[in-house]
Amino acid sequence: MARKDDITGRGALNGFRSSKSNNKTKHKFQLNLQKRRFYLPEEDRWVTLKVSVKTIRTINKKGLPAVLKDARKKGTLLKEV
């Protein structure tokens, strides 16, 4: 399974690490993904999502229903909730 955020669809970024002598080596910058359970009061059930910490902060600020509505509108929702 891909290391992607279930709500935003964000994945790893590619880049380079730079040594003191300025040698470049390829590197993959992974998201800080967490597996969390969220409660949906409209449907009276719990859902388990794999989301980044940035998305968790957004959910805490706006609420899960609003974040899911925005993700559906943008078309970035990977896992149907």
Average confidence score pLDDT of the chain: 94
Establish if 45 belongs to a structural domain: yes
The 10s digit of each residue's pLDDT in 34-63 is 999 999 999 999 999 999 999 999 999 999
- Give the mean pLDDT of 16-30: 96
Long-range own/partner contacts, residues 34-42 (CB < 8 A, 24 or more apart): 38/64, 39/64, 40/64, 40/65, 40/81, 41/65
CATH number, position 66: 2.30.170.40
Report residue 80's pLDDT band, with 50, 70 and 90 as the boundaries.
Answer: confident
Q: Can you state the angle between helices 64-74 and 53-62, rounded to 10 degrees?
A: 120
Report residue 1's pLDDT band, with 50, 70 and 90 as the boundaries.
Answer: low
Number of domains the chain contains? 1
pLDDT over 90 percentage in the chain: 86
Structural domain span for residue 56: 13-74
